[in-house]
Structure 1
């Protein structure tokens, strides 16, 4: 299945970019890393208590809201984000950690951050909650970009 075209590493011409060009283990590692970062980010170890306060819930409320189902379904956006970052890494011909950080930061700030900022403006969301959530995406997308860059 063809996804698109990217410039060859030597800068000469274009080459087709197909899904089989991606390292499936790097994609799997990126998805796993994304899930682990999310579990840690929103746990009491890091920002879980602040997050609960900002969304106006208690830990008991989360347990009653079928958190397990939500966590299981969160693999769907994790897959989409990691595949998207891997595609951007390929199109950008990223080959170093610095390249990966440019891709991850651009994706997280330029796409996630700006979308979140728009929601902040129109839905009167909390600045602190928006920053906390966007921070998670920044870390997760940068890690996914590093994995996709170094493990091609």
Structure 2
């Protein structure tokens, strides 16, 4: 359980580290969901086509994705204690990605009867996303 002393105040946050962590997370998503890695599997699992991607508003889509990455980075910066080692912070980030985000996605995907491949793509991204955010935050502090 997090104690009051483990949660940093907003004034104590390293805003440059948070910005870099958010940017790293955002860039990871760009690579993860690209044709180089999992775009085809992700599109099939979602029932989307490349045409669907072309008709969406990229400013809105990517702008909101970055803002949400920024929000996740601010939260992680607030809960990663300064006493965490690099390995401890990174493991904490992986734990958040697996135990909170991927497990929540998994519950939804089971009831929505979504494909396992889609869960593995999205859950894998979020596990790496939070691991990366924690890693960047720790090395920048």
TM-score by length of 2: 0.89
Higher helix share: 2
Partner residue, 2:95:
106
2:81 matched to 1:82?
no
Q: How many pairs are equivalent?
A: 139
Instruction: Please say if residues 85 and 103 of structure 1, whose CA atoms lie closer than 8 Å, have aligned partners that are also in contact.
Output: no
Larger Rg: 1
2:127 matched to 1:138?
yes
Runs of 4+ in 1 over 6 A off after TM superposition: none
Q: 1:27-42 to 2 correspondence within 5 Å?
A: 27-42=18-33
> Structure 1: which 5+ residue stretches go unaligned?
8-15
User: Structure with the greater relative contact order (CA < 8 A, sep ≥ 6): 1 or 2?
Assistant: 2
CA distance in 1, matches of 2:33, 2:54: 14
Higher strand share: 1
Aligned-partner SS, 2:5: strand
CA RMSD of aligned residues (A): 1.8
CA distance in 2, matches of 1:34, 1:148: 11
